[in-house]
Structure 1
Amino acid sequence: MADRLTARAAIEAATSDFTELFPPEREAGPEEGPLGWEGYAESRARARERTGEAESVVYGLASADGHPCVLLAFEFGFLGGSLGQRTGDRLEAAYRAARERRLPLVSLIATGGSRMQEGMVALTQLQRVARQSALLRAAGLPQIAVLRDPTTGGGWATLGAGADVVLALPGAQVGFAGSRVRPADADPSAYTAEGQLAAGAVDAVVPVAELRGVLSAWLGLLSGGAPGGPVAPAEVPSALGGAELPGTGWEAVAAARAASRPRAAAYLDAYFSFRLPVSGDRCGGVDAGMLCGFGSRDGRTVAYAAQTGTATRPAGYRTAARLLRLADRLGVPVLTLVDTPGAANDAAAEREGQGAAVAECFGAVAGVGVPVTTLVIGEGGSGGALALAAPGRTWLTASSYFSVIAPELAAAILKRGAGEVRGTADQLGVRPQDLVRLGLARGVISPTPPLP
């Protein structure tokens, strides 16, 4: 089990300074709460004495190494970090402060869920949180959640899973069901930070010692956009491979499939001074063949979604769509790198909703208001590649191709023999220069010349 940090210890680990704020006082009600729960007043008094806190949430203005935010932190020692009516007051006030000050919201969560002693009144605080989260999204402001031990119930299902970027501390218990209400035969690993990372619900697991630095980097990246304003397109990356164009269609295919060709990670490392990943589709899936995240280039934030040469799975397309929508809301330009033989077409991919996932990615590229810049760095296999390409803003490298279908499959459909595959590649017009001539790409990108 992970160490359970107090709210104040978590704040100290995450920030370089913190100024507490306080919500308007709610009119006094019965000490036993809205249900008149016997012993509730005494439980609250003991919680105050034990923790030194007046409620299960502390909030205020904070900074992580110079990057300001509004920060809220749960105190699990106060009735299990549960959400009651006064907790809802504080959460609502924190969100309001973030909107009024145009600041990101960071939530350091450790909660067992809604407070039973307040019944449905407590449960409806989740609706208040959901409403405030929606208002913050509409204002173009980012939300970052840090999942401490434990993060369960409604706190996970609103503040945690509803954030734009979800970080977790190692070993933290994370799940909708708390430890006392799970099925007896449930796999305990599914309810951990690491299990949620593997399931696509968490972006990264971050050790406590690294938390402030990671938060600072994320706050800088996510605050670097222009929500609602004009956004300049991302610069096209320089090619990392050779500059010689292929003579035939099959030469283009062979060059794109060459094992020695530079891949997406190399392009991203060359393009950004630093970058941070987002991971997972929030639907139970992760595709290691789709790299998504935000990075800094010449002091400017750019979002990226990059295929790595594998057949892209449904989780990959959904993660890319999530990245695109977030970048659009924050006013951040997007760079996509196309490199896939096509969308995965195995039975598992079909069961995972491949068609809907590809459609979602097409829709996200078409629907965002921020500019999307695309560079084809390898294989451009049919609709599985086109889903990530920006109409009117696509470039190619010399060692790439784009095709309606793989030449081998085209030959098979046309009932041509293996000896006719290469000629079929020529007929398909897959070379970079063919695509430029057809008006489907804006140009072929050359490598950056070496410095003298």
Structure 2
Amino acid sequence: MTDRLSARAFLALVADEDTFRELPYPERKSEPDGPLGWQGYDASRARAAERTGEQESVVCGTASVAGTPAVLIAFEFGFLGGSLGERTGDRLESAYIHAREHRLPVVPLVATGGSRMQEGMLALTQLQRVARQSALTREAGLPQIAVVRDPTTGGGWATLGAGADVILALPGAQVGFAGSRVRPPDADPTAYTAEAQVAAGSADAVVETAELRTTLGTWLRLLTSPAAGAPVPAALGAGDLPATGWQAVQRARSPERPRAQAYLDAYFTRRTAISGDRCGGTDPDGMLCGFGEHEGRTVAYAAQTGTATRPAGYRAAARLIRLADRLGIPVLTLVDTPGAANDAEAERQGAGAAIAEVFGAVAAARTPVTTLVVGEGGSGGALALAAPGNTYATPDSYFSVIAPEMAAAILKRPPTRVEDTADELRIRPQDLVELGVVRGVVRPVPPRPPVPPSPPISPPPPG
């Protein structure tokens, strides 16, 4: 379990030294024992204030995080369990408005047990206020990066936490909609942890406390420094074009061919990954998504890894493309899959709907999308990730309406006709250029010739 630092101690952990400036808070007329007249509520608030030194459960202000300015919202769990009431809602709304007026990203540092029961439904409706402010900030094209601490439960998780664009979690933190006092008595407690939320695709990463400022600063810098476009990567494999369609297939399927990881390593100087589809799934072996720095500016990426892409992978890619589009960040997609996963479990997980999400996200994107086919381009599961009119191919790739073996089987041809079928499908990179399916074939960058050594300098003649 993580240490429960106070709001100001956590702000000091995250913000650059001497940069935090607390925002002014709206004033609200205080009614005796709150809006419901809950007996003893005033006394509870007074004890919480004396214990924590705070007047409410959130502290809001501006600060730099590893050099990038942001609005920080820190929850004080010691003040009535970090619960949300009307005055909490006032502070949160004011912080979001300030962020939009000054074009700053928002970073909620969440530690809350939910809504304040002493204010009844008026407390619960603060979640609607928060959701509205978050939506307006999203529409304004400003990123929201949540850090979920221990504990993050109830409406605070369902709005400020899970509603953020990127979610970082502290190790061992209790994270879940149901708090420990309301969940079923036989519930598995390990399901309500930061680690479980990352594994289920509901959060992006678990970050050690000592690394939080650096990690958060990297995210803030990446999400606020978009490039103008995503240049096409250079090819990393073969430089010559395949002679036949079947040779193109064999090259693309070769275990020696460079995969997505190699392309991302060569393209980005640094990068950070998003994880999960926010629907309970991840596909770490089939789809890599995130944001990286290319030539000093940010490019988003969604890259297939050469395996059959699963529904969670497609949904994660759609999430990535929609987020990049909102923030004005260009997108690079790498196509490399024999096709979408088509087993029974993939169908139960909504394969068709997940692929449709990617088609829709690419089609609707206003930010530039650039695609490079680096290996197998297997049918609609590959095409979903390809940018119409801005797709390129490497010499060791192919793109096909269906795999040649399946095409031959559908056409009732014997296995001996597979190679002929591959030629007839015209799936080589050069065929795709002629057909207008891709814009061009990208070649490897030739190595620079060695620089000859400078001739030795002769000493001047004597006299």
Q: Normalising to structure 1: TM-score of the pair?
A: 0.98
C-alpha displacement at 1:168, in angstroms? Answer: 0.4
Letter in 1 for 2:26: P
Aligned match of 2:276: 280
C-alpha displacement at 1:268, in angstroms? Answer: 0.5
Letter in 1 for 2:9: A
Q: Do residues 6 (structure 1) and 6 (structure 2) align?
A: yes
Aligned match of 1:246: 242
Aligned match of 1:352: 349
Aligned match of 2:116: 115
C-alpha displacement at 1:42, in angstroms? Answer: 0.8
Paired residues of 2:229 and 2:299 also in contact (CA < 8 A): no
CA distance in 2, matches of 1:406, 1:256: 12
CA distance in 2, matches of 1:164, 1:151: 17
CA distance in 2, matches of 1:254, 1:451: 30
CA distance in 1, matches of 2:414, 2:188: 51
SS at match of 2:20: strand
CA distance in 2, matches of 1:249, 1:187: 53
Q: Which of these residues, 301, 306, 323, is aligned with residue 303 of structure 2?
A: 306
C-alpha displacement at 1:160, in angstroms? Answer: 0.4
C-alpha displacement at 1:233, in angstroms? Answer: 2.5
C-alpha displacement at 1:89, in angstroms? Answer: 0.6
Q: Do residues 377 (structure 1) and 374 (structure 2) align?
A: yes
Aligned match of 1:28: 30
Aligned match of 2:263: 267
The more displaced of 331-340 and 408-417 is 408-417
CA distance in 2, matches of 1:36, 1:127: 23
C-alpha displacement at 1:421, in angstroms? Answer: 1.0
CA distance in 2, matches of 1:350, 1:217: 37
Aligned match of 1:228: none
Letter in 2 for 1:293: G
Letter in 1 for 2:425: L
CA distance in 2, matches of 1:175, 1:78: 20
**Runs of 4+ residues deviating >4 angstroms:** none
CA distance in 2, matches of 1:232, 1:51: 47
Structure 2 regions of 5+ residues with no counterpart?
Answer: 450-463
CA distance in 1, matches of 2:208, 2:114: 24
Letter in 2 for 1:318: R
CA distance in 1, matches of 2:194, 2:329: 28
Aligned match of 1:388: 385
SS at match of 1:186: coil
Aligned match of 2:78: 77
Letter in 2 for 1:276: T
C-alpha displacement at 1:412, in angstroms? Answer: 1.1
Q: Do residues 408 (structure 1) and 408 (structure 2) align?
A: no
Aligned match of 2:201: 200
Letter in 1 for 2:234: S
CA distance in 2, matches of 1:191, 1:3: 17
SS at match of 2:145: strand
CA distance in 2, matches of 1:191, 1:205: 14
CA distance in 2, matches of 1:187, 1:397: 48
Describe the superposition over 1:66-98 as per-residue Cα deviations: whole angstroms up to 9, x where unpaired: 100000100001000000011001100110110
C-alpha displacement at 1:449, in angstroms? Answer: 1.4
SS at match of 1:194: helix
Describe the superposition over 1:369-421 as per-residue Cα deviations: whole angstroms up to 9, x where unpaired: 01100000000000000000001000000000000000111111111122111
CA distance in 2, matches of 1:396, 1:41: 68
C-alpha displacement at 1:12, in angstroms? Answer: 1.3
Q: Normalising to structure 2: TM-score of the pair?
A: 0.95
Letter in 1 for 2:201: G
1:53-452 correspondence to structure 2 within 5 Å: 53-225=54-226, 232-288=228-284, 289-452=286-449
The more displaced of 2-11 and 352-361 is 2-11
C-alpha displacement at 1:27, in angstroms? Answer: 1.9
SS at match of 1:216: helix
C-alpha displacement at 1:190, in angstroms? Answer: 1.2
Aligned residues: 446
CA distance in 2, matches of 1:265, 1:184: 44
Letter in 1 for 2:22: E
CA distance in 2, matches of 1:365, 1:166: 23
C-alpha displacement at 1:22, in angstroms? Answer: 2.3
CA distance in 2, matches of 1:28, 1:204: 40
Paired residues of 2:329 and 2:367 also in contact (CA < 8 A): yes
Bigger Cα Rg: 2
